[in-house]
Structure 1
Amino acid sequence: MHIKKLIALFILLLVLVNCKDSSIQTIQPQIIPIPEVVELSDSFFTINNSTGIAYDNSFKVSPQFLKDFIKSGSRINLKDGKEIQFIRDENLGLEAYVLTVSKEGITIKASTDQGAFYGVQTLRQLMPVGLENGTFSGKEISVEALTVKDEPQFLYRGIHLDVARHMFSVEFIKKYIDALAMLKMNTFHWHLTDDQGWRIEIKKYPRLQEVSAYRNATLVGHYSDQPHQFDGKRYGGYYTQEEVKDIVQYAKERFVTVIPEIEMPGHAQAAIAAYPELGCKDEPVEVATKWGVFEEIYCPNPKTFAFLEGVLDEVLDLFPSKYIHIGGDEAPKTRWKNCEHCQALINKEGLKDEHHLQSYFITKMEAYLNSKGRQIIGWDEILEGGLAPNATVMSWRGTSGAVEAARLGHNVVMTPTSHCYFDYYQSENDNEPLAIGGFLPLEKVYGFNPIPEELSTEESKYVLGAQGNIWTEYIPTEKHLEYMAFPRMLALSEVVWSNPKNKNYKDFVSRSENFHQRLDALDINYANHLYEIEGDMIFDKGKSYYELKTLTQGKNIRYTLDGKGPTINSKVYESKIPITESSTIKAAVFNDEKQLGKIFTQNINYHKAIGAKITIDKQPHKAYSGSGAKGLINGILGSDTRYGDKEWLGFWGEDIEITIDFEQPTKINSIETRFYDSQGQWIYAPTVYEYLILQEPNEFLQDTTFVLGLPKMAKEPRFKLLNNKFSKMETGLYDETIKIIIRIPNYGTIPEGKQGAGNKAWTFIDEIIIN
C-alpha cells in the first residue's frame, strides 16, 4: 500500500511538472526536401493574434504567402511587429535562405524574395497539418526552435504535364503548381500540343480551336491491346489566352516558371488536321484518336514557317519564360523522303539527309526565337543532324544525349525514362491503374543522380537539373494524375534540391510517411506503397533463401508458405526463409492491431538452373540492370507489364550470349525463356535466337535456331510461343548436360512509322527456366 501511494505521488508530480507545457504541440522537423543544415534547440515560439510581422520592401510575395497561410488555416491575423522578420542578406545565394526560430521569434534571411519563399515553405512544414485545410482549431501555433540553412543543388527543378492527350481544369493546374512550389520546384513544363490535341488558343489561326482541339474518339485500353477499340466520344478543349495568363501569373507568384511546349516538326497531326497545307501531302487528316507516333510532320516550306512564327508570336506574349520548348522528338522522316520540296531543299542547302533537314528546321526556328530574346529547349532528338547553336537539350532517351550535348558545351536538363517518367508503373501490384508500361518505384526515383558519370567536373556544369515527366495517354482524371505524381514528386524534389550527402532513403521513407498527412489535408491523392514488402532470392554457400524487408519502422512482417493470406496471427518474419522446393510466399506489413499494406505474393519456381553459374557477354544497360545475370535463373518471373522491375534485364541495341554452367552433369528436358515485346516503348522481342546444349566440352548435342518463333533447324524439338513473349523448347532427355548457351541477336533498327524509328531496339529478357 505504501509503495502504491509513492507511485501515485510520483505520477502526480510528473503531471504538475508537465502541466505548464501540456498545450504545446510542436512539429518535429521532417522536412521534404531535406535541408542542407538543421540545428535544433530546446525551446519553441508561439504564433498568435498578438504576433507581428515585418519585412523589407524587396520581399512582397513570401511574407504575404505566410500571412495568408496562417490566416486561412487558423484565423490568426499577423499584425505589424517584429516577432516574425524577413531580412535581406546579400551574402546568400539567389534561392538560399536561413530560417531561425527561437523563443523570441522567427527570422527568415534571404537575398531574394524567392529564397525567402522557400524559407516559408520550410516553416510551413513545421506547423500543424490542420493549417493546410482550415481544420486547425487552436488559438496558438507553436513552432519548434531551430536553425535551417539551405540552398538548392540545381538551378532547374522541374515537373512536366502533358495536357494534349488528356486535359485538366485551370483550378487543377493551379493546385498542381501549388504542390510544385511547396516542394521548392521552380519549373512547370506545360506540354500543350500533340497529335491528339492542340490546347492553347491562337487567335491568328482559329481553326486550331475549331478543329485541332478536338478528336472524334479516344483509344480504349492499352495501345498493345489488339484490335484497337475506341469510345466513339468527341473529346477536347483548349485553354483561352486569358486562362493561360492567369495560370502564368499564378505560377509567378509562387516562383514557378511556366515553359510552354509547342511541338515541331513532328507530333503535328492535330495542327495539320486544321491546316493541311502545313503537311507535305497537303491532304486532309484527322486529329489522332490513338497514341503513338504518326507520319504527319510539318513540311519545311514558307507557309509552315510563317504559321509557326505566328503561333510563337502569340505564345511569347503569354509566356515570359527564357525557354520555349519546341519538342523535336519522334519526327518520322517518311513524308520528307517522299516530298519533292523537301528533297529539293536538302540539295539546295547542301544537307546530308532528312536528319540534317530536321536540324535545319530546328535551327531556323531557334534563330527566330533568339531574335525575340528567347532560347529553345528540346528533346534529345534535336541532336540528330547537328545541334542548333544555342539549344538546351532535355535528355529523355537515357543519358547519352546529355553527355553528347554537355561535351559540345550545351546546357542539359536530365529527364531519362529510367528515373523520371512518372507515367510508368510504380508498384508490382496487379491492381495498379493502367499505365503506359515500365516500372519506376519510389526508391529508384530517389536514387537518381542527375550528373552522368561519364562527364568531367567541368562538363557537369552544363547539367542544369532534372525534371519529372507525366504523359497522360493513360491518365484521364485528376485523381489518377495525382496518384502517378505523388509521392514520386517528393523523391525528385530531394534529388534536385538536397545535398546528396544528406540523402538517406530509409529516412526519406519515414519523412514521407509523415508528409502523407499533409497530402491528405491538401486533398492530394497519392500512391501509398510505403507499407509494401520487397523480396529477394539470395544464395549463400550453395543454398537458396528468400529475404523479406520493408522500410517503414516499428512494424512487423507476417508471412505464410501455405498459399493462404497472412493474418495478425501469422508467423512473424525474423530471418531469411530457406527455399528447397517450389513455393508460394505471402506476406504483409502489420502493426500491433491490423494489416497496413497490401498482401505481397511471390511464386518461386525451383527449377534446375537455380544455383548454377551464369554469365552474359554484355553488361545490361545500367538503367535496367535488374538483379544482374543471377536474376535470370533465380526462379522468379518479372512482371508481365512492368519491364523495368528487378527481374527483367534490358540491353539496348546489343547482341548477347548467355552461358549457364552446371556444377554437376544435369538431366534436362526443356528450356523456357521470356522476352518483353512492347514496341511503343522501343522494346522488341528478338526474331532470331539460338540454343546450344553441351554434354561434353565442345560437344553440341542440340544446336537449334528459332526464327520468328518457329524452329529453323533442330533435332525435332517441340517449341511454342506464348503471348508473343514466351518461348519454350522441349529438348528431349539429356542426362549429362554441363552447359547451355543461348545466343540472342538484337532485333535491329526500329523501322519507319514506328515509335523510335531509326533507333536501335531494346531487348528485355526475363527468367530462363530449365526443367
Structure 2
Amino acid sequence: MKHTILGLLLCGSILLNAQSPAAFPIIPLPQKITPAAGQFVLSAETCIRFDLNNEQVALAANYFNQWLNSYAGFALPSSNKQEKNVIVLELNQSVKHPEGYHLQISPGQILIQAWQPVGLFYGIQSLMQLFPIEASAAINLAGVDIQDQPAFGYRGVMLDVGRYYFSPADVKTFIDMLARYKINRFHWHLTEDQGWRIEIKKYPKLQEVAAWRNETIVGHLNQGAERKFDGQKNGGFYTQEEVKDIVEYARKRFITVIPEIEMPGHAQAAIAAYPELGCLDKPIGVATFWGVSPNVFCPNEATFTFLENVLSEVMALFPSPYIHIGGDECPKVQWTTNATAQQIIKREKLKDEHELQSYFIRRMEKFLNQHGRQIIGWDEILEGGLAPNATVMSWRGTEGGIEAAKQGHNVIMTPTSYCYIDYYQSLHADEPLAIGGFLPLEKVYSYNPIPSELSPDQAKHILGAQANLWTEYIKDLSKLQYMTYPRAQALAEVTWSGEAKKNFADFTSRLMVHMERWKKEGVNFGNHLFDVKVQASSDGTGVKISASNPANQGTIKYVADGTMPAASSANVGTNLLLNQSGQYVFQSFMDGKPSGRSAKLDVSFHKAAGKKITLSTEPAPQYRGSGNGSVLNGVIGSNQRYNDAEWLGFAGKDVVAVIDLGKPTALKQVKLRFFNNPGQWVYAPKQVQVSWGKQEGSFGKVLSSRVEVGKDKIVSSNLNLKNAKARYLKLEFSNYGEIPAGAPGAGSRAWLFVDEIVVE
C-alpha cells in the first residue's frame, strides 16, 4: 500500500458512536415511552376485547388479527369477559388528541386507549412494531407505558401513476406500508401528459386513447442529443370499481385518498383523446417523453364542461374533502395566441395569462366548493392571485408555503430539497437511474415543516408535510419500494414525532430493526446506512478528505492505491490532508468486517487544487457539495449527473470566482466543465471570462470565450493563458438567462452547474 498522505489533521480512526438497537424500536418515535415491570405473553390462548358494535373499532381489531394470523399463524378470539390474558381496545376521552393513543403492556393485559378509533389503530401499529421479528408460539412483549399523539394532522405520501401504471395490488401494497407508519394521506396523482389513469364513463376515449402511449423515452431527456425510445406501447387505467376498492382498502387503514386531476397543464394525454380541449386545431398524441408539455387545456367552455363532468365522477368515487387540481408547470405560450384565451382576458379584465390561470383555477374551485369539496393545488396557483379557499402544496421550495400561510391559507409543505423521493438517495455510481437531485435519508430526517419566517399564528396554517414519488424512472414495485423506503419512514417521524423529538442516531438504531423485518417480508429498500460518504474540500490549506456513514457507526478505513481496504488498512481521521494524486478507496467496518458500499475518489492535483476560492454567488443549498472548494479539490464530477457533490449548482445567477494561488505562479491554461441538460432546466453559461493579476483585486488582461454547446451533457471550455504569471485568477460565468419558450421550465432562469476548475 502506497501512502500519499501529507498528514493527519487528527490521528486515529473514526470510531463512530455505536448504539445497540432501541429497546422499543417504534417508528415514528412516540412522544413518551416509559419502560414498565414484567412482560405480557401472547399466545393462541390470548383474547381481544373491544366494542363489537363500533364498526371503526372493529376495523382496527380485525386489522390486527389479520396481521397476527399472517405473522404467527393464529388469530385472537374476541371476548367481553374479564379474561386474565387479554388485549383491550377501549375508547376513552382521557386521551385528548383525536389521533392520539395510550398503550400499556403489563403482565396479563395489553391496554390501548384512544379518544377516536383511529387512535386505537395507531396504538396497534406501535404494538405490532414491538413484536419480535421471528414469531413463536409464545410471544414475549416487555412492559411499557406509551403516550403518543402526532405533531401534524397531515402526514402524506404522493404516488404518481401517470408516468407508469401500477397495478391495484401494487397500490394496495404501497398503502399497507403507509398505514404501518401512521401516514394518513395518500395523494394519488392520476393524470399526466404521458397517461390518464382513471376511468371516466362519460369520456371513453380517456380509456381508449389517453391511457396509452406508443413508446417511452430511454434515459434522461437531453435537448440536442439524439433521443432513444423503447418502441413498446405502455399504459393502463383503473376502472371505477378498482378505484372504489382501493379507496375502501385505504379507509380500512384510516387513510384518506386524495385524487389529483391535473389542470390546466400536464393535460396532453386528455387532449390527445379529445383535441377540442386544447389550443391547437390539430390532433396530437399522448406524450412519449418526460418534461413539461406546451399542450395545455384551452380555457373554453368545452374544457370547463369536460372538467366539471370528470370531477363529478371523481367526487362520486373519492369521499375525500380535498380534490387536488394540480395547477403546476402550465406553459402559457399557446394562450398568448389563442383567440378564446385572449377574449377571456379582455372580458374578465385580467392583466395577463398568469391571471387567466388564476381565473381557471378559481372557476374550478367554485364548482368543487358548490359540491362540498375543497381544492389543493401546487404552489403555482399563487400566480395571478390565489383562489379564496385553496390549500397550497409548496414544492418549489418553501417560499410559496410561506406566502400562502401569511395570506391565511392552509399549506402542506413538500419542497423538492427535502421531500422529493424520486431524487437519488446515494452518490454511489451504481445507484439506479433517477430523475436527478440528491436527497439522502439524513436530509429528509432533518426537515422542519415550520418555516422560521412564520409567526406562531401563521405557523398554524402549516397542516403538515408530504413525500412525493414521481415515477418517470420507476417502472415496477421493486424500484418503487427502493426509492420510497426508508425515506418515507423518515418523513413519517418528522411529521408525527415533531422537531423536539428528533434524533437521527436513535432513528437509525430503530430503523435497522425494521430493515431486518423488511428483509423477511421481501420488501426492497434502500439501505445506505453504512455506505461511505466521502467529501473532498479545499479552503486554501490543501485538499481535505472527510469520510462518514449515515449510521455514524463503526470504523472507516482507506487505502491509496485503488485496491479495496482490509481490516488492517489505515484508519481515516476526522480530516485527511492530501498532497498527491491517486485513487483513494474508503470502506466502513463493523466488528472488523466490511459493511455497506465502499467509496472511491480519484484525486488529480493541479496548480489550484487545495487553494482558496471566493464566489460572488453562493451555490444553492442542495447543490453545494463540500462547500465552495468543491471545484478546487482535484476531483472531476460525474459525466451523467450533477448531484455527486463535485458540481456546484447556481439558480439563475451569474457567478464570479476568484482563486488565490498563494504566490505568483506560471500559468498555461484553465480547463472548465459545465453541465448542460435543458430537459432538467440546466444550461451551460453563454460566456466565460478569465482575468489575472499579481495583487488581490487588481486584474489585468481579460480573455473571453463563448461556450460552444453540442449534444453531450458535458460542455468543456479551455482558456489559453499563454504562460501568464499571476497569483490571482478571476473567472466570470454568464448564466444562460431565461429558458426559452417551448423548453421545460420556460420563463424561469436557467440553472448553472460548474465542475472542477483545473489550472495548469
TM-score by length of 1: 0.91
2:32 is matched with 37
Q: Deviations over 1:375-398 (max 9, x none)?
A: 111111111111111111111111
* 1:222 positional shift: 2.1
SS at match of 1:158: strand
CA drift of 1:554 comes to 5.7
Map Cα deviations across residues 464-497 of structure 1 (whole Å, 9 max, x no partner). 1111111111111111111111111111111111
Map of 1:725 onto structure 2: 715
Render the CA deviation track for 1:327-376: whole Å, top value 9, x for unaligned: 11111112111111111111111111111111111110000000001011
The alpha carbon displacement at 1:243 in A equals 0.2
Query: Which amino acid is the alignment partner of residue 178 of structure 1?
Result: D
The alpha-carbon distance between structure 1 residues 237 and 697, as it changes in their structure 2 partners (threshold 3 A), is: closer
**Following the alignment from structure 2 to structure 1, what is the Cα–Cα distance between the partners of residues 232 and 611?**
55
- The whole-number CA distance in structure 1 between the counterparts of 2:540 and 2:673 is 28
After TM superposition, list the pairs within 5 Å mapping 1:117-516 onto structure 2: 117-130=121-134, 136=135, 138-224=136-222, 226-516=225-515
Q: Distance in 1 between matches of 2:75 and 2:353?
A: 64
Task: Report the alpha carbon displacement of residue 42 of structure 1 after superposing the two structures with TM.
Answer: 4.1
Q: What is the CA deviation profile of residues 618-668 of structure 1, one whole-angstrom value per residue up to 9, with x for unaligned ones?
A: 333334333222333233334444434433333222222222223322232
Q: Deviations over 1:150-171 (max 9, x none)?
A: 1111111111111111111111
* Structure 2 equivalent of residue 3 of structure 1: none
Name the stretch that deviates more: 361-370 or 418-427. 418-427
Map of 1:103 onto structure 2: 107
Alignment of 1:48 with 2:38, yes or no, is: no
Task: Tell me by how many angstroms 1:541 deviates.
Answer: 9.4
Which residue of the partner structure matches residue 752 of structure 1? 741
Q: Pairwise CA RMSD of aligned residues?
A: 2.2
Q: 177-186 or 86-95, which moves further after superposition?
A: 86-95
CA contact (8 A) 2:216 2:234 kept: yes
Q: Aligned partners of 1:625, 1:578: CA distance in 2, in Å?
A: 21
Asked if the contact 1:162–1:192 (Cα under 8 Å) also holds between the matched residues in 2, the reply is: yes
TM-score by length of 2: 0.92
Question: Partners in 1 of 2:629 and 2:659 — Cα distance?
Answer: 10
Deviation (angstroms), 1:53: 1.7
**Contact between 1:27 and 1:128, CA under 8 Å: does it hold in 2?**
no
Equivalent residue number for residue 8 of structure 2: none
The alpha-carbon deviation at position 502 of structure 1 amounts to: 2.0
Aligned with 1:725: secondary structure?
Answer: strand
Q: Any gaps of 5 or more consecutive residues in structure 2?
A: 1-20
Distance of 2:553 and 2:440 partners within structure 1:
22
Instruction: Map 1:505-654; keep pairs closer than 5 Å.
Output: 505-537=504-536, 542=541, 544-552=543-551, 555-573=554-572, 576-592=575-591, 594-654=593-653
Whole-Å separation in 1 of the counterparts to 2:468 and 2:696: 51
- How far apart in 2 are the matches of 1:608 and 1:669? 10
Question: What is the one-letter code of the residue matched to 1:44?
Answer: Q
Q: 1:439 to 1:172 in 2, by over 3 A?
A: same
Give me the whole-angstrom Cα distance separating, in 2, the residues matched to 1:516 and 1:697: 55
SS of the residue 1:507 aligns to: helix
Q: Structure 1 pair 119/320, CA: closer, same or farther in 2 (3 Å)?
A: same
Distance change in 2, residues 1:313/1:63 (3 Å): same
Does the 8 Å contact 1:409/1:459 carry over to 2? Answer: yes
Paired amino acid for 2:87: I
Look up the SS of the partner of 1:615 in the other structure. Answer: strand
Aligned twin of 1:116 = 120
Is the contact between residue 158 and residue 186 of structure 2 (CA under 8 Å) also seen in structure 1? yes
Identity, in percent, stands at 47
State the alpha-carbon separation in 1 of the partners of residues 639 and 126 from structure 2: 41
Q: Distance in 1 between matches of 2:331 and 2:697?
A: 47
Range with greater deviation from structure 2 (581-590 or 248-257): 581-590
Q: How many residue pairs end up in the alignment? A: 730
Tell me the equivalent position of 1:9.
none
Question: In the superposition, relative to structure 1, how do residues 663 and 67 fare at CA in structure 2: closer, same or farther (>3 Å)?
Answer: same
Shift of 1:543: 5.1
Q: Do the aligned partners of 2:542 and 2:609 also contact (CA within 8 Å) in 1?
A: no
Deviates more, 1:691-700 or 1:119-128: 691-700
Q: Secondary structure at the match of 1:700?
A: coil
CA contact (8 A) 1:674 1:768 kept: yes
Aligned to 1:11: none
CA distance in 2, matches of 1:373, 1:390: 12
One-letter code of the match for 1:119?
G
Task: Write out per-residue CA displacement over residues 86-137 of structure 1, whole angstroms, 9 at most, x where no aligned residue.
Answer: 222324201111111112321111111111111111111100224xxxxx3x
- The one-letter code sitting in structure 2 at the alignment partner of 1:762 is W
Cα shift at 1:539: 6.6
- On the 8 A contact 1:295/1:334 being kept in 2, the answer is yes
Query: Cα deviations across residues 486-544 of structure 1 (Å, max 9, x unaligned)?
Result: 11111111111112222122222222222111212332111111120122336799354
In structure 1, the gaps of 5 or more residues are 1-25, 131-135, 711-719
Asked if the contact 1:76–1:139 (Cα under 8 Å) also holds between the matched residues in 2, the reply is no
Residue 94 (str. 1) matches residue 98 (str. 2): yes
**Partner SS for 1:445:** helix
The answer on whether the counterparts of 1:428 and 1:639 sit within 8 Å (CA) in structure 2 is no
* 1:697-712 equivalence runs, <5 A: 699-709=698-708
How many angstroms does 1:563 deviate by?
Answer: 1.4
After TM superposition, give the deviation of residue 725 of structure 1 in Å: 3.1
Letter paired with 2:684: A
